[in-house]
Structure 1
Amino acid sequence: MSASDDMVGRMIAGRYEIVEKIGSGGMGVVWKAKDKILDRHVALKILRPEMSEDQAFVQRFRQEAKAAASLSHSNIVNIYDVGQDRGLHYIVMELVEGQTLRDKLNEAGRLSVDEAVNIAIQICLGLAHAHACGIIHRDIKPQNILITNTGQVKVADFGIARALGSASNTGKSIVVGSASYLSPEQVTNQAVTAASDLYSLGVVLYEMVTGELPYTGDTPIAVAIQHVEGRIPSVRERNPDAPIELEMIISKAMAKDPEDRFQSAGEMMASLRRVRPHLGIGSPDEVLLKGDDNLSGQKHEKQKKRRTSKALKILGIVVIIGLGLGAYFVYSFTNWMAVPEVEVPNIVGKNQVEAQELLRAAGLVPRLSAEKYDPDVEANTVISQSPLGGEKVKEGREVYYVLSKGESLVTVPDVCQLSLREAQLELENKNLELGNVDRVFHETVPEGHVISQNPKANTSVSEGTRVDVSVSKGPEVIKAVVPRLIGLSLEEAEQLLQEHSLELGEVVEVHSDLANGMILSQDPTEGIEVEEHSEVNVTISIGPEEQLHEYTVKIKVPDNDEPVNVKVVVIDMEGESVRYEQDVEPREVIHVSIKYKGNAALLKVYLDGNLWSEQVIEP
């Protein structure tokens, strides 16, 4: 059976039932799973064992996944849950039915310019939301771009690259990300910003339009170096259908210096939207000069005159509109240039009221972009902002900020009466941790089950809080030492056993030369430790055994026509017993020897069932 077969049907965290394998990567394996609580299918990514053993990576993975879970946007793959179950660390995501951009490029080679621009715009929408929330992707590449069956684009794996950067087995100098899409600052281990994601998006857009990567090499290092030093190959040389405006956008996104790139995903998206009217439309001259070579000269000349006249009219209209638009743009640009620049105040760490006052005092417009839990930042305090503090912007510019909701509080579940393993899973499902385990005796709670907990059930605590529990060892077993009973009477032995919290068990009587009623042996023996209220079995003497006496009785069978049944019965101190019984011929004389105990015995003779004689015999 393969590992995949072994996982299918397995329940993770008592909630997610694995249905089938979707795919795998360097970090883990992705499964399609059924959420039994919400009755929906999800994507379940389980970390590889070697990743799970790296505690630094696991901790960073959980932090980054939780941060990414705060993102909620139609162009971002939603994260629903993060946890671990029996050593398996997992992340639960939205299940996207479709294909990756990598799959699409592998099939098509390159995309139409219109489709490539449409995909890039949707990626910008997702990145704009994430950047406003203070989250940078760090690994934009076709493998992390999902396209649904309806054409919607979703960006996946936010924060995973940053988590990988903390893994101890990667080494400090190793750059995390795919070499073909790395920004120059990632290659040189410089500060990574939102502009780094836009560089990687520029590379992805280049590949979508041309069907080729801008830089290739024999090794990842050779490719990475070109991102720092290489010239960007012409887009139009590889795809003449690409408009010059699009080539300019790609060149700006892939500028070596982050300051020369688009300063936000929104700015890049606006440029992509402006290039749309240029797609698939030829120049007016090309449209007007198209004709039919089979037309006669005269007819062709008339049509040419009509076309020329019409073209002049259109040209006149275009000139008028152009002059008007030109005047409007000159006026708008002049007004825009007249707006003074102001410095954006740093509002990170400020409470919301103070932050808004600072922004308004600087002539800027505060805009709340998101709220998220942060255990390290007090509630109602600004976590991040865009543009950053210290930047120069035009007065009246909107400044987006992310506000802390403080610690994420959870309700402690009631784990009393659960087994220790069940209690641990219940706590982990609430993002809590099992704390100290104190094992104590308990009369009613079964062994291995929780007796009490701290904090108590239904208490509100921070995520990650440790919950201490007391676990039952079962009823306490109290030992008692068996006393010496040999030589005592039953009454004395019973009294002594009670004093030692023990009980008298089975009593066996035997003949002996010792006094009648004296205990001869015991089980368990003296000095043995047993549980309280255990039984002690004893053997007692009933005195010496009586001697056997022998007597012979003579019986003459009466004259009869048929044989007679003769039976001899003896009653002595051991009770009544038949010593002889047999059919005897008439007139026959028999002698029967018997043995008896005691000083006397009663002997009875029966013929054919009737008492024939009875006598007391003595030694």
Structure 2
Amino acid sequence: MTDSSSAPESPPEFLDPPEAAGELGRLGPYRVIELLGQGGMGHVYRAQDTRLQRTVALKVMNERFAKSPNSRKRIVEEARSMAAVHHDNVATLFEVGQRNGTPFLAMELLQGATLEQLLRSGRRFNPDEVISIADQVALGLEAAHDRGIIHRDIKPANLWIQSPTERVKILDFGLAVAGSAVQGLARGDSVVGTPGYLSPEQARNETVDERTDLYSLGVVMYELCAGKVPLLASNTPTQLVNILCREPLTLSQQKRSGEPVDVPEPLERLIMRLLSKEPGQRYETAGHFRKALLSVSEQIHESKQAGLAIEVEPDAVNGSSVQEGSNSNAAKKATRGGSGKVLLAVGGLAAAVLIGGGAWWTLRDRPAEDSPAASVREASSPEASPAVLAAQLGALQLTGKVIADPEIPVGEMARFRLQLTNQAESPETDPRVRY
């Protein structure tokens, strides 16, 4: 759907004359207020349902398709079937009908923008966002496929991103089967779909099943990662040849703004499987795809968590060695993605805790005169407070226990709480008394 900058100069012929100020005309019980957008299949208007007093998006079929009785019948029958699918990731259809020989659909008026509009605005999507969008689209497709309905035209222009929830809504079920952006093939046949997002079986004008929607979803995911579709051509015949005969570059072979596309390997493998030429090599159903997508998401998150895992190998250190900071502390290792060891310098934290945090000790059972308040009173005089030397403190003994929250992604800040045990053997060696 393409936005329109202004309303048409005169009301369309299929509208009845306006009955009040501020409207373009009437379509049955709907007051048509303004044109919101237009595309190859028709026009979208903001309208008011006079029966229920609610604002709706009114989609009216293009006159070129409306003249064909077969097209009118197909859009009405398909859309009525789709109206029975109630799902959070499918735009809700309120009514399907015909008026003055023109089919129309009344659907919920959504806030936000299409995925196509977001891509054109320059927005980029990280792997987690790509996975979230794909999962929501697959959920909506699964609900439709369960009723035997194939969309046939999954593309960014038919995926609405609601604001501010970021929920994905699939648009234009039913409209996709009524006509096509690819016309004029041999014998007067037409291919249903949009160049760039067609599956090979669509390009061959064969009977399709739900796996054709998964192929198109793979193209959308590829575009979200690379900024372009995998097999785009300058004209329709070349586009069809590319889809049938050429293998797309893998995402790791693509460049975006002069830089290599950086996509986690599990996600790249999943997308390239969706782009298989033969339907049998793709995922069998949207449900199977969602399970594979969940596995990919878990692999990516495990890779991130591995970058936080800290393996500490305690080393024999004495009090004086603490002054040397990280150089004399135990070796700290981090494992990322199950391969290689990356050294993490956390010794500085240990030294800082010892030198600057000597007063933060866990209180064991002590007599009243050894309470923290008494210690503060004794240390109130500057002359009675000797300097705190790191060499006089015991060494911090680290264990192999991981203290990081594994749910914190790499690159984000975390706060840790360390509990140090007071190991003083007597009041004379108790740092709370001495310092």
Structure 1 length-normalised TM: 0.46
Distance 2:158 2:327 in 1: 58
Please tell me whether Structure 1 or Structure 2 has the larger radius of gyration of its CA atoms. Answer: 1
Distance 1:204 1:60 in 2: 26
Residue 326 (structure 2) pairs with residue 300 (structure 1): yes
Q: Identify the structure with the greater helix proportion.
A: 2
Letter matched to residue 152 of structure 1: R
Distance 1:117 1:168 in 2: 33
Distance 1:251 1:168 in 2: 28
Consecutive unaligned residues in structure 1, runs of 5 or more? 290-295, 319-619
Contact conserved, 1:179 with 1:223, CA < 8 A, in 2?
Answer: yes
Match of residue 602 from structure 1: none
Equivalence map 1:587-602=2 (5 Å): none
Match of residue 151 from structure 2: 137
CA-CA distance at 1:94 after TM superposition: 1.7
CA gap of 1:4–1:93, structure 2 versus 1, over 3 A, is farther
- How well do the aligned residues superpose, as a CA RMSD in angstroms? 3.2
Distance 1:97 1:224 in 2: 35
Letter matched to residue 67 of structure 1: S
Letter matched to residue 224 of structure 2: M
Letter matched to residue 327 of structure 2: E
What SS class does the counterpart of residue 213 from structure 1 fall into? coil
Distance 1:22 1:112 in 2: 30
Match of residue 247 from structure 2: 231
Match of residue 188 from structure 1: 204
Contact conserved, 1:22 with 1:30, CA < 8 A, in 2?
Answer: yes
Contact conserved, 2:24 with 2:34, CA < 8 A, in 1?
Answer: no
CA-CA distance at 1:5 after TM superposition: 5.5
Distance 2:70 2:103 in 1: 13
Contact conserved, 2:96 with 2:104, CA < 8 A, in 1?
Answer: yes
CA gap of 1:111–1:19, structure 2 versus 1, over 3 A, is same
CA gap of 1:305–1:13, structure 2 versus 1, over 3 A, is closer
What SS class does the counterpart of residue 80 from structure 1 fall into? strand
CA-CA distance at 1:232 after TM superposition: 2.5
What is the number of equivalent residue pairs in this alignment? Answer: 310
CA gap of 1:213–1:161, structure 2 versus 1, over 3 A, is same
Equivalence map 1:118-267=2 (5 Å): 118-149=132-163, 150-164=165-179, 172-238=188-254, 240-267=261-288
Distance 1:147 1:263 in 2: 26
Most deviating of 272-281 and 217-226 = 272-281
- State which of 107, 110, 114 in structure 2 corresponds to 1:96: 110
- State which of 96, 99, 105 in structure 1 corresponds to 2:119: 105
- State which of 290, 294, 298 in structure 2 corresponds to 1:273: 294
Distance 2:27 2:184 in 1: 28
CA-CA distance at 1:282 after TM superposition: 4.0
Q: Which has the higher contact order (CA 8 A, sep 6+)?
A: 2
Most deviating of 247-256 and 267-276 = 267-276
Distance 1:58 1:305 in 2: 73
Residue 8 (structure 2) pairs with residue 3 (structure 1): yes
Contact conserved, 1:81 with 1:92, CA < 8 A, in 2?
Answer: yes
Match of residue 381 from structure 1: none
CA-CA distance at 1:234 after TM superposition: 1.4
Cα displacement string for residues 474-502 of structure 1 (whole angstroms, at most 9, x for unaligned residues):
xxxxxxxxxxxxxxxxxxxxxxxxxxxxx
Cα displacement string for residues 91-144 of structure 1 (whole angstroms, at most 9, x for unaligned residues):
211211110000111113531111111011000000000000110000100000
Cα displacement string for residues 251-307 of structure 1 (whole angstroms, at most 9, x for unaligned residues):
111111111110111111122222223446547468769xxxxxx994233334355
Match of residue 389 from structure 1: none
Distance 2:68 2:184 in 1: 8
Distance 1:89 1:253 in 2: 34
Distance 2:202 2:10 in 1: 39
CA gap of 1:16–1:216, structure 2 versus 1, over 3 A, is same
Q: Identify the structure with the greater strand proportion.
A: 1
CA gap of 1:306–1:9, structure 2 versus 1, over 3 A, is closer
Letter matched to residue 193 of structure 2: G
Contact conserved, 1:12 with 1:85, CA < 8 A, in 2?
Answer: no
What SS class does the counterpart of residue 31 from structure 1 fall into? strand
Distance 1:191 1:158 in 2: 17
Residue 98 (structure 2) pairs with residue 71 (structure 1): no
Match of residue 579 from structure 1: none
CA-CA distance at 1:37 after TM superposition: 0.9
CA gap of 1:15–1:188, structure 2 versus 1, over 3 A, is same
What SS class does the counterpart of residue 19 from structure 1 fall into? strand
Contact conserved, 1:113 with 1:242, CA < 8 A, in 2?
Answer: yes
Instruction: Report sequence identity in percent.
Output: 32
Distance 1:143 1:270 in 2: 26
Consecutive unaligned residues in structure 2, runs of 5 or more? 1-5, 13-21, 255-259, 312-321, 334-342, 344-396, 407-435
CA-CA distance at 1:310 after TM superposition: 7.2
